[in-house]
Structure 1
Amino acid sequence: MIRFGLRLAVAGGREALTRLLVIAAAVAIGSGLLLTTLAGINAVNAQLTRYASIYPNASTGGDADPLWWSTREDYFHGQQIIRIDVAATGPDAPTPTGIRSTPGPGEYYTSPALRKLLAAHPADQLADRYPGRDIGTVGPAGLTSPDTLLVIRGGTPDEVAGLPLAMQRTTVGDTPALPETTMNLILGVIAGGLLFPLLIFVGTATRLNAARREQRFAAMRLVGATPKQISVVAAVEAATAAVAGTALGFILFYASRGAMADIPFTGMPFFPSDMSLGVLDILLVALGAPAGAAAAAQFSLRRVRISPLGVTRRVTPRAPRAYRLIPMMLGVAVLFLAIGFRPPTSDGQAAVFLPGLLLIMAGLILAGPWLTMVGARVMARYASRPATLIAARRLADNPKAGFRAISGIMLALFVTTVAVGVITTIVANRGPAPVGSTEAGQVSLYLPEDAPAAPDSLFTDLRSITGVRSAFAVRENPDWMSASEPGLIACAEIPSAYGRCAEGAAVAEVATGLIPFRESASSTRVWPAASVPLGELRQLPVMSIVVDTDGSAATIERSRTALETALPAFRVAPNVPGDFESEFANTLRGWEQLANVIIIASLTLGGCSLAVSVIGGLTERRRPFSLLRLSGAPVRVLRRVVALESAVPMLAVAAVAIGMGLLAAHLFLRAQMGYTLIAPEPRFSVIVVVGLAACLGVIASTLPLLERITGPETARSE
């Protein structure tokens, strides 16, 4: 029977060959995207492992000489620079990963991206922060990404031991990857939203011409074939195309691996080698894709297994009931309740939000046929043309079939709408300070309690930089426990853009950086008077140094370089309001880009599924359409029927999915962060509209087939 199934698969005429090609193409696209998803997960894990090695824990076991190690962050034009200071205490000290040897005092290694940055800007903006001799490049093994900005500087053991966060290490490069439950959760949800359209596409392609094949297999049953033999033939036929498609999927994956690695899924691109596949991944796809196609073929022949005459017993299926809305409503209710009862731990929050979102996703799929039926009945009630009435009646009679091909689009649009809505809102609330604002031009350096005193020449050097308006120190308030603000400053030094002192005060209580937390700079602010006399102010330790600039990038970076050169033992690098937020926003924008990629991919798959579904429906209804043409129905009416049957449910479920996605995103933001949803950027709407228009174009491209297959010769009695 296996040989017979192969013969039917490859020698069954043009119809069989077309079906094989469509199934192979569907499996190729599906397996290629599945391989990309698995490789992406492996790349994230590899990236996290190298990231953990850059931020290690102390290790003092073993006989090796300890290596002093201090990791800190710096910034340049909003980009994070990782700065590692090391010092070997003996000849057996370990060497940091990615470099030839541990740099000595006055030596350093840089990453390729940082090397380009150093060459592209004047030394007083960046290179002067790292005095000494550049002795080499950090290799990929020591970098989290090709775009990582990293410098590894050498020093004496006493120098590095005195730096913040200094530790001793006897081994390097063996730090395990840190668990990232949030990232894994996002990857899982997005992968689910992508894989579902893949399964829909493969299943739809496998069911192509299901009615014609059922008739052929039923005839084989009537001449003596057993259900088992029929199952073997169907499985061989589907698996043959699936094996070819899976092989093509592997070719597509390795051909596009470099381009996929450049997409910043985690806010930074991957090395192409990170997009690797394990043996289990390869076996999962190589065996799972053909097995899934064979299973879909088996499912499509369930009527033949009941009876060889079961194919002719076609009755209207039972209409879906309104109870299908219950899971979706439960999911919305869970997110509503989370607003007032948010668990305090991250695990507890995941236990609330994830089931709520999954309930909505499952509810959308379960409620899809009911929504299709309701929409079809409304369309039938207000139909004024024959085409509209015929399309509405057919959708109302079998809404499950009408919804099946577009269910992947519905789920993908929901997942990506939630992701884009959440990301857009977080970026808007936590993004960098607006360009041109007062705080965007402020450079602040916060000093720890044990920091050395700032040299007197520092403020003179800062004020001499072109574009610097003022430079001053905020000193520690000795009464900060009972005071309204933790810092002190002379009233004469407060720039007008940051407010003024109370009437008659000489010293004011101010915020550490002259900008209160979660507020903006204000020239109308009145700072409270301090009890410390002006003569005693300079005897207090410096809490922070604030430089007010004109906001130009060159002035900001020159000021930052001057601060770091004068006070190299900083714990937190001199920063501009928005540095930390900009880094976080860039990561989120990477996820937003990933969401946009998924929208395009899922809509493409949905369009392919629709095309296959429309073509399959046309070939299965050739005789009824031919009879309609013989009875006087114009071809344009039949084309309108086919277009309405596909387009109306697709547009309706797209609107429902996007609406539910925005609602779920708003409830999540309110419960988790207290934010109000901000509408996604116009490009999201453009991508959705263009994608849906492309799906409509795919449907339109199948309509010319209608006239060719519904000629008078098709209406003969069979």
Structure 2
Amino acid sequence: MKTTLALSWRLLRGGGRRGMLGTWLTFGAVAISTALLLFAVSANFAFDARADRGAWRNPVPAQTGAVAIEAQRNDYVRDRQITVIDLAALPPEKAAAGVAPAGVAPAGVTPAGVAPAGVAPAGVAPAGVVPAPPGLPRFPAPGEVWLSPALAALAKELPADQLAGRYPKVAGQIGDEGLVHPNELVAVIGHRPDAAAMTAPRSDDWIVGSPPTKIASFAGVASEEAEAYQVLALIATVLMIVPLLVFGGAAARLTVARRDQRLASLRLIGATPGQVAGMTVAEAVIVALAGALTGAILYGVAVPLLSRIQIGGGVWYLSDLWPSPLVLAATLVAVPLLVGMSAVAGLRRVVVSPLGVAKRETPPGLRFFRVLALIAVLAAVPMLSRSTSVGVIAVVIGLAFLCINLVGPWVVALIGRITAGSARRPARLLAGRRLVDDPRSAWRTVSGVALTGFVAGFLGLLSPSAFSSDPGPAQLRVTVLSGSAQDAVTQAKERLSKAGVQATVKAEKKVVVAALGSTADAGVIDRARTALDGLTPGRTPTTESDDQRFGMQMLADVGAGTVVVLSVSFLVAIASSGITAASSVLDRRQTYALLRLAGTPLSVLDQARRAETLIPLTVMGGGAIAVGAFCAMPFMLGSVSVNGLITLAVCVGLGFGGVIGAGALSRPLLRAVTADPAPRPD
């Protein structure tokens, strides 16, 4: 073993300037893959952390031992959502008996909101003891208000009659453990258990809020909104990780021809198959481990920048995006292991027929079972629907993704035979013969962009249509769930008049409508919101834009997520094309030199190199886009949006442009390896 490692290290160091260039290309590919892989995996844990921090707002109803009542509603300011949590502590003897709240706790009972000394501020509390909500030092007393730092800063920035007037008795600020993200606007308001805000009926629409619920602790469940983001994050991760795994596997096969020739020579002079495999694994793992460590460092440096990406209404805590030690360790082990396994997978020809490698014999053709695997997976796609388990959806999409990579070399070989048979010019003939001779190498050059085409086809077809951007004149609407709507209209007129807001107020069935006019700016609307706050207990005055806020936020986040996923995919694809193109030139430097010695112009060689990239890219890129669109069809929410088609067109343009540009960067290398056409031993 020691001899094998020593020989591998000497061969790695003694590969010459061009041999070391191939090693550096592998190192760079692994570093990029590791950094992006950590980002893709950490994003899932980041959304999980957000869901956990926000779960206390969606408590599990108490079966016995209720100690408090909790309700949630949404308020708005400057077109931003404020999450309002209404809390009321139950009197100890009523909580223990499970009786509905009424009245004030009798004398001598521990005041609501003050937990006895030594009691833990979270978790399941003893009977009669009210735990502190996450992020608060104690349970809020009736009339107290606790604001998130972002909401507190905004309340100081805006005039009091536009925001601060809604929260007159601020007791402090909410800590990070009670917030989903740093920019979140949250207000926690304490009430008496018999207050109207805690007893009046509310809507059970989860987008609007949640009705009053008796709770025994603040151990809750993830909201439907958080679950939606977790599902989207998982799908995005699958769409990013598969190209990264393919890229990482391809990195192990860079300069594969040079390595095969060298190892075949060692086999012919007596090296055993075990020694050949050991040297290959050692060389690949040494480079991959160095690249993985560098990639982890690159990701750590990029975390502060990544934390500024706004998803779900705000940026991220740095701790959310830092991978846990277990994830980091698993990545640093998995990446070199993948590279080592991929390197060993290419040794079969060297071990079985080293003489064939040395003579540069064409490997046997690829089998049709690759196509059958893709057909089998696509046959399962129509059985999916939006109600299918997200795990099943992720598995099917991932398998379709992998099968495209599996069928790619077979299609490239077929394209090569057609191209060579129909060639009328030398460059096209050379390109076709090269595709037939080594379809796997040709596929590695275009696989990144082809797989990105799958992502673009999938996301392009799923891009939702935009909401109405012209909601009309500003109108605040408040639903009256109990009492007279006309009485509410009278109160609304008085409040708006006192606040100096001109509005036409009327009742439409059980809804109070305050028309502010088309000239009302954001300040006037927020002043009217503040004036109407509390008009209907547990209900918030909203505009039409407010009612669409969640949908518009989700639409914006899907768009941002699409940009992130496609950016990552294109970064991988273009890097893969550039690295693989340069590596291919190094692998075939002797072939190029012999062709130049035979009189082939350099321009013909360059044209042939471009053709063997663009021809399979056109076919496989278009096919991957079609497969991605087919996989997205069961999840469409309506007609295809214009934005989705534009995104798809931009992706196709960037993909072709990126591959052409990456290939052009390796042209000086082609000129260098053919500068001296005299053949030399490898």
Please indicate the TM-score interval, normalised by the length of the shorter structure. Answer: 0.7 to 0.9
1:389 and 2:424 are equivalent in the alignment: no
Amino acid at match of 2:43: G
Alignment of 1:311-350 (within 5 A): 311-312=357-358, 314-317=360-363, 346-347=387-388
After superposition, what is the alpha-carbon deviation per residue over 1:437-456, rounded to whole angstroms, capped at 9, x for unaligned? 43x62321112246895262
Mean Cα displacement is larger for which, 29-38 or 580-589? 580-589
Change (3 A) 1:135 1:451: farther
State the 1:419 CA deviation: 2.3
Change (3 A) 1:555 1:313: same
Write the distance in 1 (CA, Å) between the matches of 2:402 and 2:248. 20
Contact 1:442 1:547 in 2 (8 A): yes
Write the distance in 2 (CA, Å) between the matches of 1:331 and 1:234. 34
State the 1:39 CA deviation: 1.7
SS at match of 2:69: strand
Contact 1:455 1:566 in 2 (8 A): no
Contact 2:26 2:251 in 1 (8 A): yes
Contact 2:459 2:644 in 1 (8 A): no
Write the distance in 2 (CA, Å) between the matches of 1:266 and 1:458. 33
Write the distance in 2 (CA, Å) between the matches of 1:250 and 1:695. 27
Contact 1:200 1:405 in 2 (8 A): no
1:443 and 2:466 are equivalent in the alignment: no
State the 1:71 CA deviation: 1.7
Partner of 2:558: 591
1:100 and 2:137 are equivalent in the alignment: yes
Partner of 1:470: 504
Write the distance in 1 (CA, Å) between the matches of 2:628 and 2:500. 50
Partner of 2:670: 706
Partner of 1:638: 605
SS at match of 1:224: coil
Task: Give the alignment partner of residue 447 of structure 2, picking from 389, 404, 407.
Answer: 407
Contact 2:430 2:608 in 1 (8 A): yes
State the 1:5 CA deviation: 2.0
1:581 and 2:584 are equivalent in the alignment: no
Change (3 A) 1:168 1:406: same
Amino acid at match of 2:477: S
1:158 and 2:127 are equivalent in the alignment: no
Partner of 1:628: 595
1:697 and 2:665 are equivalent in the alignment: no
Q: Name structure 2 gaps, 5 residues minimum.
A: 92-110, 116-129, 203-210
Write the distance in 2 (CA, Å) between the matches of 1:70 and 1:660. 46
SS at match of 1:27: helix
After superposition, what is the alpha-carbon deviation per residue over 1:365-416, rounded to whole angstroms, capped at 9, x for unaligned? 3443454345445555664532123213322444343223322322233124
Task: Give the alignment partner of residue 606 of structure 1, picking from 573, 578, 581.
Answer: 573
Amino acid at match of 1:444: R
Write the distance in 1 (CA, Å) between the matches of 2:582 and 2:260. 17
SS at match of 2:615: helix
Partner of 1:71: 72
Mean Cα displacement is larger for which, 42-51 or 82-91? 82-91
Aligned residues: 629
Amino acid at match of 1:564: D
Q: Percent identity?
A: 29
Partner of 1:560: 529
Amino acid at match of 1:48: A
Alignment of 1:421-500 (within 5 A): 421-422=461-462, 424-425=463-464, 427-428=465-466, 431=467, 433-435=468-470, 437-438=471-472, 441-449=474-482, 453-454=487-488, 456-462=490-496, 470-475=504-509
Contact 1:610 1:646 in 2 (8 A): no
Amino acid at match of 2:492: L
Alignment of 1:223-238 (within 5 A): 223-238=269-284
Aligned CA-pair RMSD: 3.2
State the 1:262 CA deviation: 2.3
State the 1:50 CA deviation: 1.3
Alignment of 1:533-544 (within 5 A): 543-544=510-511
1:175 and 2:143 are equivalent in the alignment: no
State the 1:324 CA deviation: 5.4
Partner of 1:286: 332
After superposition, what is the alpha-carbon deviation per residue over 1:318-376, rounded to whole angstroms, capped at 9, x for unaligned? 556777555656666655677xxx6xx8247986x667645653553344345434544
Write the distance in 1 (CA, Å) between the matches of 2:383 and 2:38. 38
SS at match of 1:51: helix
SS at match of 1:346: coil
Amino acid at match of 2:580: S
Contact 1:415 1:661 in 2 (8 A): yes
Scaled by the length of structure 1, what TM-score is found? 0.79
State the 1:286 CA deviation: 1.8
1:21 and 2:24 are equivalent in the alignment: yes
State the 1:705 CA deviation: 0.9
Write the distance in 2 (CA, Å) between the matches of 1:350 and 1:110. 38
Contact 1:82 1:150 in 2 (8 A): yes
Mean Cα displacement is larger for which, 79-88 or 321-330? 321-330
Partner of 1:483: none
Task: Give the alignment partner of residue 186 of structure 1, picking from 218, 227, 232.
Answer: 232
State the 1:191 CA deviation: 1.9
State the 1:663 CA deviation: 4.7
Amino acid at match of 2:156: A
Partner of 1:135: 171
State the 1:176 CA deviation: 4.8
Partner of 2:33: 30
Mean Cα displacement is larger for which, 152-161 or 617-626? 152-161
Task: Give the alignment partner of residue 295 of structure 2, picking from 249, 269, 291.
Answer: 249
1:41 and 2:44 are equivalent in the alignment: yes
After superposition, what is the alpha-carbon deviation per residue over 1:261-283, rounded to whole angstroms, capped at 9, x for unaligned? 22234554321111232343123
1:650 and 2:614 are equivalent in the alignment: no
Amino acid at match of 2:324: G
Q: Name structure 1 gaps, 5 residues minimum.
A: 476-542
SS at match of 1:566: coil
Write the distance in 1 (CA, Å) between the matches of 2:478 and 2:88. 25
After superposition, what is the alpha-carbon deviation per residue over 1:497-518, rounded to whole angstroms, capped at 9, x for unaligned? xxxxxxxxxxxxxxxxxxxxxx
State the 1:618 CA deviation: 1.6
After superposition, what is the alpha-carbon deviation per residue over 1:57-105, rounded to whole angstroms, capped at 9, x for unaligned? 234766xx92333221112243221001223453322222112333333
State the 1:472 CA deviation: 0.5
Amino acid at match of 1:67: A
After superposition, what is the alpha-carbon deviation per residue over 1:556-583, rounded to whole angstroms, capped at 9, x for unaligned? 333333322433x134x22222324332
Alignment of 1:654-665 (within 5 A): 654-665=621-632
Write the distance in 2 (CA, Å) between the matches of 1:612 and 1:53. 49
1:259 and 2:305 are equivalent in the alignment: yes
Amino acid at match of 2:37: L
Write the distance in 2 (CA, Å) between the matches of 1:124 and 1:600. 44
Change (3 A) 1:122 1:414: same
Scaled by the length of structure 2, what TM-score is found? 0.83
After superposition, what is the alpha-carbon deviation per residue over 1:452-487, rounded to whole angstroms, capped at 9, x for unaligned? 952624235447877855211123xxxxxxxxxxxx
Contact 1:267 1:588 in 2 (8 A): no
Change (3 A) 1:4 1:623: closer
Amino acid at match of 2:232: I
